[in-house]
Structure 1
């Protein structure tokens, strides 16, 4: 069987060291990885090229600021405010592919409104720098993916030249092609986006785009709404003026109260920001002071993601291929789903696979990590596999299908999940109804003896101990004796 080539280095026959020395992230070429470009890392970087890129972002926002109040035509709005996702960098939320969402009307309206509100002084701030992330601070409609996608579009020319340089230095000519890339550079004289031609790595009639590691983060950008919400009540303490601080504390005492729901608290914060918009700049000033921490934190998250979703997957794929029949192709979607899960179980329990679903000797702490890992090693299949399709009643981990009439589901849970019993009892039945399928596989991952005991108890209480579609995986590292002691 041909060995699957999942990552850039494998597909283009480049050593990991060569790519690492160049400073680029080893992207997965079958599925986006949950990494994002953080514009704050450009702002706080000591690299003059990155600082210039951040200046370019500010320049474009200033251009939009000048145009925003002039009754723009629908064509101008689409040309200047709408952007397609730059899918060729293989970063973002999409799993089993790279086709994300464009920055359409919702983003355009949020950006245009912000230019008359929170970004009204763009490029002219007195005490703090200009930050595109302000878009994400007021209201939940613009998240890290939108900020990252917008940033990627505005620095696309740099990423294209960065990738072209690597291609010319390290790839063979037959691995690359010349591509005319639309909307590569904005021309401020003609006020239009220009198409440029680049020599780039070719993948399935499209190009591939590399991204420097030190631009990337996982989770939220450093300046984010989630972080603002968490530390909002502590902001008045950072105000030096006694009178202003007292005024804010008095206002806070009227809008925040005990036993307030999260929804009501967040709505109250939005009201306070409208009343005291200077709090946003205060928050940003505090984040700017933590620039060194931002770089260190982002690097740690990026390194961790690379170790788990690149290095450990690279270990698991050939190991699974050699030790199991994981890459066989059963006849139905349920057979496919169950057989893959059972092979995964055998690999984890009996063939030292438990090592690759741990990070530095510690268990994966989130179900999403297990889901991503399983999804990446199961990427070469004749079946249509979608991760977390939300078809009406919330997202399920995987839906496996072959045509409209053959569909099955896979749901992963950590045994440590406090809602394990409720989920087993109700959740998958709801998912099955929403996805029009009668078959599903439930996978429970146990990292400790307590996990094992809890799972056994729950299955007994629900009278489903012998249900073949429920697969319990023992991932305990302390329960794997060597062959000489077994």
Structure 2
């Protein structure tokens, strides 16, 4: 069952929040990231020199690379040693969908990054911020890897901070030897790694290095360059995919002034932290909302014990119907919006997981997230024993893959004969009417042809003008 750090440790929420630490979920990665740009303003004692430590590590790598004449020489090999960043376990943040491990830098990626850095150095730029911005133009480098690189460099600060918070909270700890040092920590029961805490003030849902809203400013010195970049990327660099990143990489190496502009602007970007109250990315509130909601609205079951596949299907339908009611009539739809703007689909999925997980725990049903067993991704799998299984896929009507997802499900149903039971949850958050109509037509056609298909449950998740609204009680 999903559980937060403070619930696992038995600490009152307001007391834990007073420490300023992020209350991570132990077996569900929150898509939050350490932003090196925020480290320089961090006032937490253990982290006050952390940004300088990050810059110094990157500066050392650049200095060594400057002396390298060719790949594989003594300076290159030394730079490789400096650029080893093993994955950091125990933070419970990042992109992992199963478990809570970090993202290590492998040999191939390390070599490519050093080659890029060497090319940039040879163009005359040696600012250490190169490595903070490299995700803009290097494939396979995203916020998770930048976050993990940073965590690796400042791991001593993270460990000392975690140890202090546990001590202040009076938590029962055990001695762990990490990097040759003794620390008094707590083990995560899900992955047997030490639980590591982070200050909320150094986390963002998207590091500032990946968030550029006005490319015109960056390219203001060169109208032709601005036009080329705008044509390719549009208004936001964070949406750049691998082909676009390759283009930007070539462009930056040809036009060093572009990278100099980026570095200059990056240095003066406002150091804004994440809004934990409104939770625009849907990464925080779902857990607390689920806890409160399930306590307030217990599940009424047709049958007390789940034994057969039919029992399990009835149970999952009841959970989905309860989720539908909570969204449509009890204010939980407000958690799917940032003001009037729909949040990403993951906000709805995590909210469903939180609700379903709590109901499952009370009824001895297992639920797992985003299982991929060779038949494509499934958002959730409910199971009781080895044979009783039901899969649930959740889609917003704003998702362009709404019809495709259902079509894939239908194909799987025909292959699986009667062994597959599933539900397709459709949350209408303002997607095109034609998309919804096309889905309903597809459902009717399948029914006419007698095809087996998942049960489809439509949920009206549109904002209500005068409806109740979920107000978080425990978030600070």
TM range (shorter): 0.7 to 0.9
Give me the whole-angstrom Cα distance separating, in 2, the residues matched to 1:311 and 1:332. 32
**Aligned position for 1:88:** 90
CA deviation vs aligned residue, 1:345-383 (integer Å, no higher than 9, x gap): 224416987423423786853321111222234445664
CA contact (8 A) 2:125 2:256 kept: no
Runs (5+) with no aligned partner, structure 2: 235-239, 469-476
Matched, 1:35 2:46: no
Equivalent of 1:342 in 318, 340, 344: 318
Alignment of 1:360-371 (within 5 A): 365-371=343-349
**Aligned equivalent of 1:376, options 349, 354, 361:** 354
CA-to-aligned-CA distance 1:246-303 (integer Å, 9 cap, x gap): xxx3466689879999887655433321111221120232233332xx4156667768
Cα distance per residue 1:406-439 (max 9 Å; x no partner): 7653211123445534543x23245669999744
Which residue is equivalent to 2:267? 288
In structure 2, the residue matched to 1:171 is 170
Q: Could you tell me which residue of structure 2 aligns to residue 186 of structure 1?
A: none
Cα offset, 1:8, TM superposition = 1.1
Q: Does the residue aligned with 2:369 lie in a helix, a strand or coil? A: strand
Partner of 1:397: 379
- Cα separation, 2, equivalents of 1:90 and 1:400: 23
- Answering whether residue 57 of structure 2 is matched by residue 60 of structure 1, we say yes
TM-score, structure 1 length as denominator?
0.74
Q: Is the 8 A contact 1:447 1:475 kept in 2?
A: yes
Say if 2:31 and 2:94, in contact at 8 Å, map to a contact too: yes
TM-score, length basis structure 2: 0.75
Aligned residues: 443
Q: What is the aligned partner in structure 2 of residue 188 from structure 1?
A: none
Q: Distance in 2 between matches of 1:328 and 1:456?
A: 38
Give 5+ residue unaligned stretches, structure 1. Answer: 183-194, 240-244
> What do residues 220-267 of structure 1 show as CA deviations (whole Å, max 9, x unaligned)?
31012xx45x64455332x3xxxxx4xxx3466689879999887655
Residue 352 of structure 2 aligns to a residue whose secondary structure is helix
User: Which of 6, 9, 18 is residue 9 of structure 1 equivalent to?
Assistant: 6
Give the Cα–Cα distance (whole angstroms) in 2 for the partners of residues 384 and 272 of structure 1: 47
Distance in 1 of aligned mates of 2:466 and 2:281: 25
Aligned match of 2:455: 469
CA RMSD of aligned residues (A): 4.5
What corresponds to 1:309 in structure 2? 286
Instruction: Provide the rounded CA distance (Å) in 2 between the counterparts of 1:303 and 1:327.
Output: 38
DSSP 3-state at the match of 1:116: helix
* In structure 2, distance between residues paired with 1:434 and 1:157: 52
Please tell me whether the aligned partners of residues 34 and 147 of structure 2 are also in contact (alpha carbons under 8 angstroms): yes
CA distance in 1, matches of 2:77, 2:162: 31
SS in structure 2 at match of 1:22: coil
Identify the residue that residue 332 of structure 2 maps to in structure 1. 356
Structure 1 residues 193-229: Cα deviation after superposition (integer angstroms, max 9, x where no partner):
xx211011233354211110001011x31012xx45x
Q: 2-side partners of 1:123 and 1:353: how far apart?
A: 57
Q: Which residue of the partner structure matches residue 445 of structure 1? A: 427
1:413 is matched with which residue: 386, 390, 395? 395
Q: How does 1:191-230 map to 2 (within 5 A)?
A: 195-204=180-189, 205-218=192-205, 220-224=206-210, 227=211
Q: Does 1:428 align with 2:409?
A: yes
Q: Which residue of 2 aligns with 1:150?
A: 149
Evaluate the alpha carbon distance shift between residue 275 and residue 13 of structure 1 in structure 2; reply closer, same or farther with a 3 A threshold. same
> Residues 36 and 144 of structure 1 are in contact (CA less than 8 Å); yes or no, is this contact kept in structure 2?
yes
The 8 Å contact of residues 58 and 123 in structure 1, kept in 2 or not, is answered as no
Cα pair distance change 1:284/1:140, threshold 3 Å = same
Deviation at 1:335, TM superposition (A): 6.0
Describe the SS at the equivalent of 2:24: coil
Counterparts in 2 of 1:405 and 1:92: CA distance versus 1, 3 Å: same
Q: For 2:232 and 2:126, locate their aligned partners in 1 and report how far apart those are by CA, in whole Å.
A: 39
> What is the SS of the residue equivalent to 1:412?
strand
Decide which of 255, 273, 296 is 1:276's aligned counterpart.
255
How far apart are the structure 1 equivalents of 2:125 and 2:41?
16
Alpha carbons 1:216, 1:302 under 8 Å: kept: no
* Conserved 8 A contact 2:301-2:318: no
Instruction: Tell me if the contact between 2:163 and 2:183 (Cα under 8 Å) persists in the aligned partners.
Output: yes
Structure 1 residue 157: Cα displacement: 0.9
CA distance in 1, matches of 2:427, 2:59: 51
- How far apart are residue 120 of structure 1 and its match? 6.9
| 1:104 CA displacement | 1.7
